[in-house]
Amino acid sequence: MNKLAFILTLAATPFVASAALASPSCGNAPQSSWMSLKDVEAKATAMGYKVRQVKIEDGCYEVYALDKDGKRVEAYFNPVTAEVVETKLDD
């Protein structure tokens, strides 16, 4: 039985790893209910980001900006609520 459990664990490992690398989830609300791009940019600016670009990526607003320390940041915003879903520092 332990051999079977080991094999099943190995078989599931790639699926767990790929889920961890997946894009952030911002839901699937219709675009008609989304905040405007300008509103999301204003929210990011109010949070202290110096916004360079905003685009739509995988159902999220993806904001490319500089943080308060001047480091490059990718921040993913929920398009309906403008809440930050994920932030990545670009090195």
53: which residues sit within 8 A by CB, 6+ positions away? 63, 64
Q: Which amino acid is at 17?
A: A
- The structural domains of the chain, ordered by start, are 30-91 (3.10.450.40)
pLDDT 10s digits, 6-64: 455 555 555 444 444 556 789 889 999 999 999 999 999 999 999 999 999 989 999 99
pLDDT 10s digits, 66-79: 999 999 999 999 99
78: which residues sit within 8 A by CB, 6+ positions away? 26, 27, 60, 61, 84, 85
- CA pair distance 28, 20, nearest whole angstrom: 19
pLDDT of residue 16: 44
3: which residues sit within 8 A by CB, 6+ positions away? none
